[in-house]
Amino acid sequence: MRQVAFLLLSLACLAGCSQNTERSHLSESSWRFDRIDGERPVSAASGITFEDGQIGIEVGCRSLDGPWRMDADRLVAGPLAQTETACAAPSWHQGTAVNSLIVATPRIAVEGNRMILQSRGHTAELVRVDTAD
């Protein structure tokens, strides 16, 4: 009986360590913001990168990075480290909107080279960036 319990516990631990296969379609990909709450991004350099189990977000005067995973159709990111610099109000507002969107565990939909992140208060539309050299 103890051997069976040990085996089940070992399998449960291994399952917890495995990566969620749902995230494979985003792994090692980069995206640029096309729309943030219906508006074009102030900075053309605004985007999201999924690399080595980490998410990196640049938008406005804000940078966010940390671990990420998928939970069904939701993007779960965090805890996130954040840096922010002084900038004009429109850029600051877009950074705040994306920060609020990401911490709200948004629904994610990917179709071809387009991705939509959506929470109750914010929506972002992104386009895949070809990173091939």
Express each pLDDT in 49-77 by its tens digit. Answer: 999 899 999 998 999 999 999 999 999 99
Express each pLDDT in 94-104 by its tens digit. Answer: 999 999 999 99
pLDDT of 130 reads 82
- What CATH class does 21-129 carry? mainly beta
What percentage of residues in the chain have a pLDDT greater than 90?
69
Question: Could you tell me if 85 and 61 are in contact, meaning their C-beta atoms sit under 8 angstroms apart?
Answer: yes
Q: For 95-119, what is the mean pLDDT?
A: 96
On average, the pLDDT of the chain sits at 84
Q: Is the peptide bond before 41 cis (omega within 30 degrees of 0)?
A: no
Please, which residues have CB within 8 angstroms of residue 84's CB and are 6 or more apart in sequence?
61, 62, 63, 95
